[in-house]
């Protein structure tokens, strides 16, 4: 894996292949040591894209001093303080699957879907890191029907981490958006389908999602992903001017989903209809500001594999069988979900997000 | 007005009647001066409800030293860093009006409306303070139809400010919720109705709201509102156990809406169907944590007056006439909106939120 992370003592680390470096102990990197002592990546984010590039390049060339080499920790802290968390709905395969499942016989895509990246704000205070337990949420599943969710699901996503903010009233263009993105994490958008389906009209998902959103601990810098940048699918109808991009906006990332050690599916982010740059241009076009630590997620990534149990089981109608011989429709207590990511044909490991359901 | 605020130099102030006190200059208040030097109220929030009460009581009795008396500033800073911002939909009159306007002929209330407080997460990074300008947002109003919103609206609301957080996995009960609420602000949830109506299916409001949410600068402590606590309307069907409250949960607050000096309406928070305590119990029942600085808004307050132009003009069909002889359907550039609030029969002034539309 390659990426920046923060250990439980608050040290900022760089993982690079098998090596783990304590950045506070590499003076040659040329950044105020206070930045590495702050216990989160936000202070590094605030230095801006030129500094991120300069640091990243220097670290590629550098032979780190022996006192900077660390054993890679098993568990890491949430690597940055999340400012606002926005979740999009950018996979056409996923949105189409959900339309067929939830509104059979109707047009599967919402009417605005091909005109703008549909998204909503989630709860930033419940973004957790890989390894944190996920308690099964309680809630209302219908009138008077309160209890633990019986339809606990996962969603395979990528999260783009905003490094550089932007002022209110100044939209970020599609072409400038990559300068605002520090890097990428894997993201599991845990979902309670019964709570969600009772509550979501007309204001969208709320408690069905807000109990936990889990991310991988190493933020992979965009610079490392640059060789894997690739065009997304052709967009028709042609999007509005502020959404037109002149450069390839997708990344060739493969996401593998495993439940209790059984691989359930494999999906590809290169097929996402809306790119992260388009999502950022969209979310700021009304004048909304960005802040370092904003987290912008893709929504469930499906295609060709699917990134949620609701799709895998056709809304609970077709159980799946695990390697241990048990079957599942929804998640059970004790189940462990792991999402792993790689770029290209496995050339670059981008880590994993791992979570276990507890009662 | 009574309340805690922060001036542009970062001094924490208490407004109390005509007096304004610089709290860092009142040693007798018994709080570490660092708390008042932090430039926001979040450090004070973190001290917890017993300290808030003790400080508030001491300040009632105290004759502040002359060096602590300040001229009340015309403009103040955003008084606290907003953690998560949640907006509810708690007024039955408003939800009913919106149902009639948007879905004529159908049941006006969404099916879950009387079973749980419907809400969604908004953008905390664009919460601004009274006096800040509000640029007219641009966005897509239909396929290919990009431009400045032609249907700019306001929403009259109250915002409850969380002072004391709660850990993930530990729901806050209705009866414990007031211990987590530091105080109240007036809130204008600026809305672009054309952008909102194109984007909001199925994930809820996004860019139609996220350009600006404006609050009053003085956070009125809950202790000051205690004499005005009052029962809300009877709830039928009886809500689920976690939403049943044993104490009166509403506040007798009158909200007056003025546009360019013309009073448009007057609404009463005492009639809200769902109380702030119920909203907090609901938003944590799935295990979501609270943080100091979470902002929990009521949604538009209507009854008997209405708290938005979409209601006042019946979705643009009936223009309103201002005292200067001009008429309005939606807001025009240069328009100034002021929401003022009082408790009881004017006994306690809780301030104002003021914003002007700029192109």
User: pLDDT tens, B299-348?
Assistant: 999 999 999 999 999 999 999 999 999 999 999 999 999 999 999 989 99
Residue A28 has pLDDT above 90, yes or no: no
Chain A environment of B123 (Cβ under 8 Å): 84, 121, 288
List of residues 6+ apart from A31 with CB closer than 8 A: A23, A44, A47, A51, A55
Is the CB of A127 inside 8 Å of chain B's CB atoms? no
Residue in A120, A140, A200 nearest the CB of B206:
A120
b or e along A148-168 (b: 16 or more beta carbons within 10 Å of the residue's beta carbon)? Answer: bbebbbbbbbbbbbbbbbbeb
Residue in B110, B138, B204 nearest the CB of A286:
B138
Which residue is it, tokens 């997708």?
Answer: A250
Mutate to test the interface with A, among B144, B202, B240 (most CBs of A within 10 A): B202
Which residue is it, tokens 């640059």?
Answer: A226
Say yes or no for a CB contact (<8 Å) between B116 and A140.
yes
Is the CB of B283 inside 8 Å of chain A's CB atoms? yes
Mean pLDDT of B186-201: 97
Tens-place pLDDT, residues A68-82? 999 999 899 999 999
Chain A environment of B121 (Cβ under 8 Å): 120-123, 206, 210
Say yes or no for a CB contact (<8 Å) between A289 and B125.
yes
Say yes or no for a CB contact (<8 Å) between A204 and B207.
no
Q: What percent of chain A has pLDDT over 70?
A: 100
Say yes or no for a CB contact (<8 Å) between A294 and B125.
yes
Residue A195 has pLDDT above 90, yes or no: yes
pLDDT, residue B28, reads 85
Mean pLDDT of B207-227: 98
Spatial separation of the C-alpha atoms in residues A54 and A145, rounded to whole Å: 56
Is the CB of B359 inside 8 Å of chain A's CB atoms? no
Q: Are B302 and B267 in contact (CB under 8 A)?
A: yes
Residue in A198, A211, A241 nearest the CB of B286:
A211
Tens-place pLDDT, residues B13-69? 999 988 999 999 998 888 998 999 999 999 999 999 999 999 999 998 889 999 999
Is the CB of B60 inside 8 Å of chain A's CB atoms? no
b or e along B53-91 (b: 16 or more beta carbons within 10 Å of the residue's beta carbon)? Answer: eebbeebeeeebeeebebeebeebbbbbbbbbbbbbbbb
pLDDT, residue B90, reads 98
Residue A41 confidence class, pLDDT cut points 50, 70, 90? very high
pLDDT, residue B244, reads 97
Is the CB of B99 inside 8 Å of chain A's CB atoms? no
Q: Is A316 exposed, middle or buried (0-12, 13-18, 19+ CB in 10 A)?
A: middle
Is the CB of B200 inside 8 Å of chain A's CB atoms? yes
Residue A311 has pLDDT above 90, yes or no: yes
Residue in A115, A138, A286 nearest the CB of B207:
A286
Spatial separation of the C-alpha atoms in residues A302 and A269, rounded to whole Å: 8
Is the CB of B201 inside 8 Å of chain A's CB atoms? yes
Supply the DSSP string of B4-37, one letter for each residue. EEE-TT--EEEEETTEEEEGGG-GGG-S-HHHHT
Is the CB of A283 inside 8 Å of chain B's CB atoms? yes
Is the CB of B110 inside 8 Å of chain A's CB atoms? yes
Closest to A128 (Cα-Cα) out of A22, A216, A60: A216
Mean pLDDT of B252-274: 97
Say yes or no for a CB contact (<8 Å) between A291 and B125.
yes
- Interface subset of A 170-199, CB within 8 angstroms of B: 171, 192, 195, 198-199
Identify the sign of the CA torsion A341, A342, A343, A348.
Answer: positive
Share the mean pLDDT of chain A.
96
Q: What percent of chain B has pLDDT over 90?
A: 96
Mean pLDDT of B163-173: 98
Q: Chain B residue with minimal CA distance to A135?
A: B169
Q: Are A207 and B279 in contact (CB under 8 A)?
A: no
Distance from CA of B257 to the nearest CA of A (A): 25
Say yes or no for a CB contact (<8 Å) between A118 and B144.
no
Share the mean pLDDT of chain B.
96
List of residues 6+ apart from A239 with CB closer than 8 A: A115, A116, A278
- The CA-CA-CA angle for residues A264, A268, A270, to 5°, reads 175
Q: What percent of chain B has pLDDT over 70?
A: 100
Say yes or no for a CB contact (<8 Å) between A287 and B195.
no
Tens-place pLDDT, residues B276-304? 999 999 999 999 999 999 999 999 999 99
Mean pLDDT of B151-171: 98
In A32-82, which residue ranges form alpha helices assigned H by DSSP? Answer: 33-36, 42-45, 49-61
Spatial separation of the C-alpha atoms in residues A350 and A222, rounded to whole Å: 11
- pTM for the model stands at 0.98
Q: Are B144 and A240 in contact (CB under 8 A)?
A: yes
Is the CB of A202 inside 8 Å of chain B's CB atoms? yes
Is the CB of B155 inside 8 Å of chain A's CB atoms? no
Mutate to test the interface with A, among B88, B100, B121 (most CBs of A within 10 A): B121
Tens-place pLDDT, residues A100-140? 998 899 999 999 999 999 999 999 999 999 999 999 999 99
Mean pLDDT of A214-230: 97
Element (H, E) at A356: strand A348-358
List of residues 6+ apart from A331 with CB closer than 8 A: A152, A153, A154, A259, A309, A337, A357
- The CA-CA-CA angle for residues B89, B221, B11, to 5°, reads 115
Chain B environment of A212 (Cβ under 8 Å): 168, 287
Residue in A121, A138, A202 nearest the CB of B286:
A138
**In a 3-state reduction of DSSP, which class is residue B259?**
strand
> How much is the ipTM here?
0.97
- Indicate which residue of B94, B100, B121, B138 is catalytic: B94
Catalytic (active site) residue B138: no
Tens-place pLDDT, residues A240-283? 999 999 999 999 999 999 999 999 999 999 999 999 999 999 99
Mean pLDDT of B121-139: 98
Say yes or no for a CB contact (<8 Å) between A126 and B168.
yes
Query: Which DSSP state fits A9?
Result: T
Across the A:B interface, residue pairs with CB atoms under 8 Å apart total 175
Is the CB of A147 inside 8 Å of chain B's CB atoms? no
Query: In this structure, what token pair is assigned to residue B47?
Result: 């001290």
- Interface subset of A 288-307, CB within 8 angstroms of B: 288-291, 294
Residue in B199, B210, B288 nearest the CB of A116:
B199
- Indicate which residue of A8, A11, A94, A121 is catalytic: A94
Query: Which DSSP state fits B177?
Result: H
Residue B102 has pLDDT above 90, yes or no: no
């Amino acid at each position: 894996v390659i990426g920046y992370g923060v250990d439980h003592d608050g040290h900022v680390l760089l993982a690079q292949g098998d090596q783990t470096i304590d950045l506070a102990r590499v003076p040659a990197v040329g950044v105020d040591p206070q930045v590495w002592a702050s216990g989160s990546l936000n202070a590094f984010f605030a230095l801006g894209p030129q500094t991120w590039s300069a640091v990243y390049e220097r670290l590629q060339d550098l032979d780190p001093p022996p006192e900077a080499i660390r054993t890679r920790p098993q568990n890491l802290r949430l690597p940055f303080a999340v400012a606002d968390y926005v979740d999009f709905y950018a996979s056409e395969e996923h949105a189409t699957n959900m339309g067929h499942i939830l509104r059979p016989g109707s047009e599967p895509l919402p009417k605005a879907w091909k005109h703008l990246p549909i998204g909503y704000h989630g709860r930033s205070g419940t973004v957790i890191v890989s390894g944190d337990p996920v308690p099964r949420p309680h809630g209302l599943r219908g009138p008077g029907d309160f209890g633990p969710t019986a339809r606990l699901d996962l969603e395979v996503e990528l999260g783009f981490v905003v490094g550089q903010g932007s002022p209110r009233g100044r939209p970020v263009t599609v072409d400038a958006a990559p300068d605002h993105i520090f890097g990428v994490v894997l993201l599991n958008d845990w979902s309670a389908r019964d709570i969600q389906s009772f509550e979501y009209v007309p204001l969208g998902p709320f408690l069905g999602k807000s109990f936990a959103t889990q991310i991988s601990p190493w933020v992979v810098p965009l610079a490392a992903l640059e060789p894997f940048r690739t065009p997304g699918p052709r967009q028709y109808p042609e999007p509005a001017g502020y959404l037109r991009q002149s450069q390839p906006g997708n990344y060739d990332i493969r996401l593998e989903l495993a439940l209790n050690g059984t691989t359930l599916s494999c999906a590809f982010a290169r097929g996402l209809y809306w790119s992260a740059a388009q999502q950022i241009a969209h979310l700021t076009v009304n004048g909304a500001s960005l802040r370092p630590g904003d987290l912008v997620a893709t929504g469930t990534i499906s295609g060709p594999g699917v990134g949620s149990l609701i799709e895998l089981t056709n809304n609970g109608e077709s159980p799946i069988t695990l390697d241990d011989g048990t079957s599942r429709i929804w998640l059970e207590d004790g189940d462990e979900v792991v999402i792993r990511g790689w770029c290209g044909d496995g050339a670059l490991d981008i880590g994993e997000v791992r979570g276990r359901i507890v009662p």
